[in-house]
Amino acid sequence: MTDTPVKPRGFKKAGIILLAILLVCLLAYGLRVPILTGLANYLVNTDTPLQKADLIFVLNGDYNTRPFTASDLYKQGFAPLVAIAQAQSSPAQLLGLVDNPTDIAVEVMKLRGVPSDRLLVLKDIDPVTSTFDEARALRGYIETHKLNSVILVTSAFHTRRSRWIFERELAGVPVRLLVTAAPHSGFDASNWWQSEEGLIFLNNEYIKLIFYKIKYR
């Protein structure tokens, strides 16, 4: 009598695992658009509908969008003042080869209808180099002026991390923080993975968000 070869159980188990992985991959591919959109939407943390405040505070960074949004909010009457913290100049900027991003943002807002006497550049502390520095600059201004509420303007994917940073740095200050989003140039939550800039921005935001939550918890 000849024994019938029996396949090792390991091969059967491996086949089941590979099939499960394949099914998960197919499911993920089929749901890729809502998954990718959801990853972006998680980073967006804004106040809707936006309410009026005492000050609009625009963050340095994308001067192609943020100062435009801040200017529109001012003209719509959401606040009587617009402020921005002075950014530190790079070596090339110090040589006059390129403009400081704060200076560009200020000029954009002036050209977009914000009067010079309604536009504040916070220079009382060292020039800022990060969102944390900007939050500290705003705290210093609030502590010397009677402000009850502030509208924070930054890029859409930057709103969740910015809100966390500002709420942390403004802890104990009796001010209401409202956050609104300036649109990204060339991409949004529905198509960020289709552009190099969108991929880089979203990837950086998640890395920084996780890093800050671990470092400053």
Alpha helix (H) residue ranges in the chain: 9-30, 32-43, 66-75, 91-94, 101-111, 131-144, 159-169, 196-215
Q: Summarize the confidence of residues 142-161 as an average pLDDT.
A: 96
- For residues 92 and 73, the model is more confident at 73
User: Domains in the chain, start-ordered, CATH in brackets?
Assistant: 47-215 (3.40.50.620)
Please give the backbone phi and psi of residue 119, each rounded to the nearest 5 degrees, phi first: -120, 120
Q: Summarize the confidence of residues 81-100 as an average pLDDT.
A: 93
Residue 30 has pLDDT above 70, yes or no: no
- pLDDT score at 126: 86
Please tell me the distance from the alpha carbon of residue 43 to that of residue 37, in angstroms, as a whole number.
10
Average pLDDT along the chain: 90
Residue 66 has pLDDT above 70, yes or no: yes
C-alpha torsion 167→168→172→175, nearest 10: -20
- pLDDT score at 44: 97
Residue 27 has pLDDT above 80, yes or no: no
Q: Summarize the confidence of residues 74-98 as an average pLDDT.
A: 94
- pLDDT score at 125: 79
Residue 21 has pLDDT above 80, yes or no: no
pLDDT in tens, 53-62: 999 999 999 9
- Flag the least confident range among 31-45, 99-113, 197-211: 31-45
- pLDDT score at 216: 79
- pLDDT score at 53: 98
Residue 217 has pLDDT above 90, yes or no: no
Residue 70 has pLDDT above 60, yes or no: yes
- pLDDT score at 2: 56
pLDDT in tens, 114-139: 999 999 999 877 899 999 999 999 99
Q: Which pair of structure tokens corresponds to residue 89?
A: 């100049």
- pLDDT score at 22: 65
